[in-house]
Amino acid sequence: MIRIIPAIDIMEGKCVRLQQGDFHRQTVYAADPVEVARQLQDAGVQYLHLVDLDGARNGRVQNWAVLEAILARTSLKVDFSGGLKNDEDLQRAFDLGVHQVSLGSVAVIFPLKVYKWLRDFGPQKIILSADVRHNRIVISGWQEETQISLIPFLESYQSIGLRTVTVTDVSRDGMLGGPAFDLYRQLSRQFPGLRLVASGGVRTIQDIEALDALGLDGVIIGKALYEGRIQLKELERFLC
């Protein structure tokens, strides 16, 4: 059964959501991300996707205190991303109790470094975050489009032991227009050995059911949850 992974995106210490990765199109949903995380846990959620948007934009983790507080006050299995750039960052995150780290820009710019982390920390600790726009990888908090195509990017990492990847169609993120079903269907067929996590565009429980039917490992939910389009009670059967 597909894993339900709510997202908390942090900007200036608050829980926000962006539209299509645009930092100028943000909605603040809560002043206290820690309280949001506690509410999710109380509802039976086990996993959390925590993004340091300030870190993603600035190239250095900015919200260590929020991460530490969520890990101290909940038992959620947190995957963390945004500004992780060196061995010390990863070690600090794992020492705090992070379950996994999600690596995006650094995996594009410094692949040899990420290859080393896969070897040193183990593939069970590393999630590749493949953010795409028009089938091209985007980096730096989705602000810069590269010339790297998604398929060869995934092939290169699978060949050195990667097990889990989150794929986000940036054009759909925060828009409630539905997930990129055709893309996930293609990737499921082409990469049967990868644990594929869908992100972006989820709007209803029917979207989650359809992604589950595709055999995906997980789905990240943000705006639809915060705006009440999906109720936590609807997710109960996926949380056991």
The catalytic residue positions are: 9, 131
Q: Which residue has the tokens 């010390």?
A: 88
Cα dihedral: 208, 184, 40, 11 (round 10): -140
For 4-29, b/e burial (b = at least 16 CB within 10 A) is: bbbbbbbbeebbbbbeebeeeebeeb
Return phi, psi of residue 59, to 5°. Answer: 80, 15
Q: What are the tokens at 215?
A: 């055999």
Return phi, psi of residue 91, to 5°. Answer: -65, -40
Q: Where are the alpha helices (DSSP H) in 84-200?
A: 87-96, 105-109, 111-121, 150-158, 181-190
Question: Residue 65 burial by CB count (10 A; 0-12/13-18/19+): exposed, middle or buried?
Answer: exposed
Identify any residues that bridge with 167 across adjacent strands, giving them in sequence order: 130, 198
Q: How many CB atoms lie within 10 A of CB 234?
A: 12
